[in-house]
């Protein structure tokens, strides 16, 4: 499998206001330049936020706050992240919400088969209004399916077009130059109606 080039890593940094603390929540995305030329990372971050992530944030609880997005070209290990402050901007749905260790899960399917090309995103800050018993409501499912379209669809910045990929950490070599970047284009983004669990993110026991 040939190595990819012009692959950008985007790290979305949010916080979740828990009862006893403020919890950092990071989400990592990888995009492959499939048309045009690379934009500046600042320009790319702005377009990713407005054309992709703003739709995620609109479906999250107001207890989620987006404060920074970082991006860098991972082809060269010496390149630093470009960091852009965001807001902070709160999620779009009012409280209450479910516990912080619960999340909306969006599995990624890829053009290439194999366990190295499976991925998913977990989005915490699930509004109570979006859930009926153990699953998303019909309206929330429809809303998240629209978000999934944004996660799947390549987005354009000023000079380039970027396609989402699942990066294989096992098959890639990203520690020294020259790097080897192995990944596969995302062919579908699904939405689990059942609410996912992130056990390691559970708030510590309070008494």
User: Does residue 44 lie in a domain region?
Assistant: yes
Closest to 122 (Cα-Cα) out of 1, 14, 9: 14
pTM (two decimals): 0.95
What does the pLDDT average to over 142-161? Answer: 98
Q: How many domains does the chain have?
A: 1
The residues, any chain, with a CB within 8 Å of residue 89's CB and separated by 6 or more, are: 57, 65, 66
Quote the pLDDT of residue 51.
98
User: Does residue 206 lie in a domain region?
Assistant: no
User: Does residue 73 lie in a domain region?
Assistant: yes
Average pLDDT, the chain: 96
For residue 1, name the pLDDT band (cuts at 50, 70, 90): low
User: Does residue 2 lie in a domain region?
Assistant: no
User: Does residue 97 lie in a domain region?
Assistant: yes
User: Does residue 207 lie in a domain region?
Assistant: no
pLDDT in tens, 175-205: 999 999 999 999 999 999 999 998 777 777 7
Contacts 24+ apart (CB under 8 A), 146-149: 146/55, 147/55, 147/56, 147/59, 147/106, 147/191, 148/106, 148/189, 148/190, 148/191, 149/189
User: Does residue 37 lie in a domain region?
Assistant: yes
Among 91-95, 169-173, 198-202, the least confident range: 198-202
Reading the block at residue 137, the tokens are: 């409501």
User: Which residue segment(s) compose the domain that 99 sits in?
Assistant: 7-201
């Amino acid at each position: 499998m040939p190595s990819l080039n012009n692959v950008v890593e985007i790290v979305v940094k949010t916080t979740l206001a828990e009862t006893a603390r403020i919890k950092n929540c990071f989400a990592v995305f990888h995009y492959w330049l499939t048309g045009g030329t690379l934009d500046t990372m600042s320009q790319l971050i702005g377009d990713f936020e407005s054309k992709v992530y703003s739709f995620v944030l609109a479906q999250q609880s107001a207890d989620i706050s987006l404060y920074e997005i970082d991006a860098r070209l991972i082809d060269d290990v010496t390149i630093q992240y470009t960091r852009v402050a965001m807001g902070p901007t709160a999620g779009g749905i009012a409280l209450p919400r479910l516990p912080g260790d619960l999340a909306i899960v969006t599995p990624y399917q890829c053009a290439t088969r194999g366990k190295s090309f499976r991925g998913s995103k977990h989005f915490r800050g699930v509004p109570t209004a979006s859930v009926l018993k153990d699953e998303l409501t019909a309206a929330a499912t429809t809303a998240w399916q629209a978000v999934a379209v944004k996660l799947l669809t390549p987005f354009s910045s000023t000079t380039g077009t970027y396609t989402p990929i699942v990066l294989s950490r096992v098959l890639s070599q990203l520690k020294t130059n020259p790097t080897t970047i192995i990944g596969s284009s995302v062919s579908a983004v699904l939405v689990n109606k059942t609410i996912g669990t992130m056990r390691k993110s559970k708030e510590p026991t309070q008494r």
